[in-house]
Amino acid sequence: MFFYYQIRNHPHKTVAVPEITCPLCHTAGHMEMNFMQKYAWVFGPIAPSGKFAMAFCDHCKNHVPAVRWTDEMDTVFQLHKRELKTPRRLYRGLIVFPLAMVAIVGAIILVTKVKGNKQQGNQALVKEAIAHPRKGDIFQINQSDGTNTNYTYFKVASTRGDSIYMYPSTVHLTDMKDMKQWDEIPVADDAYEKTPIAFSIKQAQTSDMFMYNTQPTQYGIVWSLYRDGQLYKKY
Amino acid sequence: MALEENKNRKMQFGNPYADYEYYGKHSKRTWPSMVVGLLFGIGLCYFAWYRWHEINMAEVMGGTVSLTSIEWILYKVGGKWILSGILFLCGVGFAYLGVHNYRRLEKMKVEG
Average pLDDT in chain A? 90
Average pLDDT, stretch A28-42? Answer: 93
Same domain, A155 and A73: no
- B54 at interface of A, judged by CB pairs closer than 8 A: no
Same domain, A145 and A225: yes
Q: Which of A24, A52, A62 has its CB closest to that of B22?
A: A52
Same domain, A223 and A154: yes
Average pLDDT, stretch B64-79? Answer: 90
Report whether pLDDT(A42) > 80.
Answer: yes
Quote the ipTM score.
Answer: 0.76
Name the residue range of residue A64's domain: 6-86
Same domain, A203 and A141: yes
Q: How many structural domains comprise chain A? A: 2
Contacting residues of A for B112, CB less than 8 Å apart:
23-24, 62, 64-65, 68
Same domain, A207 and A138: yes
Quick check: is A162 in a domain? Answer: yes
Shortest Cα distance from A52 to chain B (angstroms)? 5
Same domain, A223 and A133: yes
Quick check: is A115 in a domain? Answer: no
B27/A69 Cβ within 8 A = yes
Same domain, A57 and A135: no
Spatial separation of the C-alpha atoms in residues A4 and A95, rounded to whole Å: 19
Quick check: is A81 in a domain? Answer: yes
Same domain, A138 and A213: yes
Quick check: is A18 in a domain? Answer: yes
- Bridge partners (DSSP) listed for residue B41: none
Q: Which of A67, A73, A74 has its CB closest to that of B30?
A: A67
Task: Report B:88-107 residues touching A (Cβ under 8 A).
Answer: 105
pLDDT digits (tens, 9 = 90+) for A137-187: 999 998 887 788 889 999 999 988 889 999 999 988 887 777 778 888 898
Average pLDDT in chain B? 88
Spatial separation of the C-alpha atoms in residues A86 and A174, rounded to whole Å: 66
Same domain, A135 and A70: no
Shortest Cα distance from A57 to chain B (angstroms)? 12
Average pLDDT, stretch B81-87? Answer: 93
A33, A62, A86: which is the final residue of a domain? A86
Quick check: is A116 in a domain? Answer: no
- Bridge partners (DSSP) listed for residue A153: A140
C-alpha dist (Å) from residue B25 to A96, A114, B99, B106: 34, 59, 21, 16
B17/A68 Cβ within 8 A = no
Same domain, A58 and A143: no
- Bridge partners (DSSP) listed for residue B13: none
